[in-house]
Amino acid sequence: MEWTEWIKFPDPREGEYLYAPWGYGIYQLRNIRTNELVLFGSGNHLAYRMSSLLPEPLGQGTRKNRLKREYVLENINDIQYRTLAFLSKHEMKSFEDGLRIKKNHLFDT
């Protein structure tokens, strides 16, 4: 399993597309202007989960932290993402736990 290349985060106002696994996976966002890792997360259906990274009405799903969603939208031109697909939920969660331990992201997930 390997991370994808970094990809510009899509702006739905421009009709851009999100490319992510439909099954188990992890995403990671970075801000190329500030050179910071912004946040990461996982989902059983990663593409759907990532659609909640923007505030409504642009994003779907739920997020407990509106500041994350607003940050992504405010910095959308500088945000890139990458994904990593998994075959099982257990593998995905183990990998995510390793990212969580590092505590090197702007937002905790």
**Domains of the chain as residue ranges with CATH:** 7-102 (3.40.1440.10)
- Confidence class for position 101, pLDDT limits 50, 70, 90: confident
Select from 35, 37, 36, 65 the least CA-distant residue to 53.
65
How many whole angstroms separate alpha carbon 67 and alpha carbon 75?
A: 12
Give residue 63's pLDDT: 66
Residues 7-39 pLDDT 10s = 999 999 999 999 999 999 999 999 999 999 999
